[in-house]
Amino acid sequence: MANIAFLGTGLMGAALAEAAAKRGDRVAVWNRTTAKARALEAFGIRVAETVPAAIAGAERVHVMLADDAAVDDVLYAAGEGLHAALVIDHSTTSPVGTAARAKRLEARGIAFLHAPVFMSPKMCREAGGIMLVAGPQATFARTEAALRAMTGRVEYLGERRDLAAANKLFGNAMIIAICGGLADVYAMAKSLGISAEDAHVLFSKFNPTGTLTYRGAAMASGDYTPNFELTMARKDARLMIEAAQGLELAVLPAIAKRMDALIARGFGSDDMGVLAVDAVPKTAPH
């Protein structure tokens, strides 16, 4: 049984705190709006009026806040009380901000890990999903067992302080891109008189995630040997935009503009993965 604190009790923070209390930890919480945390008292959780009161006596301080500014403000408010605890920040924050925060805290002798999650509130309550962790190996070793109890899978990424922040953004970027792509599919379907539900049935038969595995690996290595030429992909993008019949699209127009620019630069006969060429230059022969 550990004495722990959670700073920030939104949907995710509240669910993590609830799960910790059910595992037998002694839990205190703070939230900017105290009234929103009161429901956690039903689980034996102490609701503190101030950040210093929440972290008093805590072995671990878990942070789940909106952004870098919120995290910095709350950790500043914690003051010297952080020296007795290990600070674990689960917030989705910028790589630059995370690295700077780690440097500041470590300079003060405060142990810090960044551990953002791919978890829903339900997963937080049921210890499912994935937690990414970056920070000193020795610090991770101190708390690895506790972190594994919080989630279905823990991925330790190493000592580079910004790696978990970067990888969390990579993951969220793909989620956003997929949702944008689906929005465009449903816009096309609406214009063609097909329900979104019927359009979605395609993806129970055709799984586009192979693009991540195969084309994604080729793109990451700079191999743009053509399997689906950029000029042909651009033609298809035109057909997609036309099929939407004027409905606003989330991602296709921007991708089409990028394709046009690359075709003008001479990449038309490369694989459509050449969309990444400015980040990953060509390394394989055409």
Give the CATH number, domain containing residue 70: 3.40.50.720
Q: Count of domains in the chain?
A: 2
Q: Is residue 223 part of a domain?
A: yes
Q: Is residue 286 part of a domain?
A: no
Beta strand 111-114 with 86-89 is parallel
Domain match, 17 and 92 both: yes
Structure confidence at residue 274 (pLDDT): 98
Q: Is residue 118 part of a domain?
A: yes
- pLDDT beneath 50: ranges in the chain: 286
Domain match, 152 and 23 both: yes
The pTM (predicted TM-score) of the whole model is 0.95
Structure confidence at residue 1 (pLDDT): 84
Give, in degrees to the nearest 5, the angle at Cα 149 between 16 and 142. Answer: 105
Q: Is residue 281 part of a domain?
A: no
Structure confidence at residue 65 (pLDDT): 98
Q: Is residue 193 part of a domain?
A: yes
Domain region containing 76 = 3-160
Domain match, 105 and 224 both: no
Structure confidence at residue 286 (pLDDT): 47
Domain match, 152 and 11 both: yes
